[in-house]
Amino acid sequence: MLTLPELQAVIQDNVAVALKEDVGTADITAELVPADHQAKARVITREVAVICGVEWVNEVFRQVDSRVVLNWLVADGDQVAANTELLRLSGPARALLTGERSALNFLQTLSGTATISSQYAAKVAATSVKLLDTRKTLPGLRLAQKYAVSCGGCFNHRIGLFDAFLIKENHLMACGGVTPAIQAARRNHPTKPVEVEVETFEQLHEALEAGADIIMLDNFTPEQMIEAVKITAGRAQLEASGNITDETLLTFASTGVDYISIGALTKHCRAIDLSMRIDL
């Protein structure tokens, strides 16, 4: 699980890019407000949500104007009802106006990711399976969304192409098969986890013999997965992937596999409806 101390540099970079995109050289509309005016503001959610993005919001106002004071009434991972007040702010009116959109963009997007992750996690709460995210994330927000997934009760797959092997169909074709691909992975990076995707029981047996750490069962039926669990007998961890829907998730989770990867955790998220009200 990603932790906030690990993410501090990423958060700073995320916010710097967002403010550069939004503010550019100046917020010419906020400049209509006298520079010495002070204001207060409230952020509320219009719908049920799992909150995520507190540190991104803090960093927005830190970079815009460090005189802004933020008083959070919730924390990352909290589930809240509609019309819940999340945050109270006070400080220079111009700064509140300038930071508003970037702050809400981070909070609504990451809370959306955390909320859908929470909904998926609830569906399999009675099983031992772990739901994993994928690399199907918003460009530039990979680590932010993966953090949000964990706030919602799901788990992170590999971060990128650098921290673990995931040998899929095209890799197998290019490498000459399951065994050569796994052997090459062990030679090149002996300490990195090796996961291989299989589509048949023949490939499953080969992956086990070659010593894969994790085996992804691609488009296996629930019945086939139950058989794969018996064959594997704990020699590797098993991940289910492909053609898994809301309706079939619990069925797949009950087969005995260790993981189910779900791209929808990050790519199907819908931003939470938030509102910021400023009182000059």
Alpha helix positions (H), the chain: 4-23, 54-64, 93-123, 142-151, 169-175, 178-188, 201-210, 222-232, 249-253, 264-267
Residue 210 near residue 179, CB atoms below 8 Å: yes
Q: Considering the candidates 40, 136, 186, 192, report the single residue annotated as catalytic.
A: 136
- In the set 213, 218, 227, 273, the catalytic residue is 218
101 is catalytic: yes
Decide: residue 119, CB within 10 A, 0-12 exposed, 13-18 middle, 19+ buried: middle
CA-wise closest residue to 224 among 211, 209, 243, 210: 243
Contact 215, 232 (CB under 8 A): yes
The catalytic position among 40, 62, 168, 186 is 168
Using alpha carbons, list the distances in angstroms from residue 66 to 91, 94, 96: 9, 12, 11
Q: Which helix (H) or strand (E) holds 70?
A: strand 69-72
Residue 197 is among the residues annotated as catalytic for this protein: yes
Catalytic residue among 40, 62, 101, 192: 101
Find out whether 145 and 174 touch, Cβ atoms under 8 Å: no
Structure tokens at 218: 């691609």
Q: Which of 27, 76, 133, 197 is catalytic?
A: 197
Q: Is 65 a catalytic residue?
A: no
Q: Does the active-site annotation cover 123?
A: no
d(CA 114, CA 262): 14
- Taking the C-alpha atoms of residue 178 and residue 188, their distance in angstroms, rounded to an integer, is 16
Distances (CA, A) of 88 to 69, 70, 279: 8, 6, 11
Tell me if 62 sits within 8 A of 27, measured CB to CB: no
Q: How far apart, in Å, do the first and last CA atoms of the chain sit?
A: 41
Give catalytic residue positions.
101, 136, 168, 197, 218
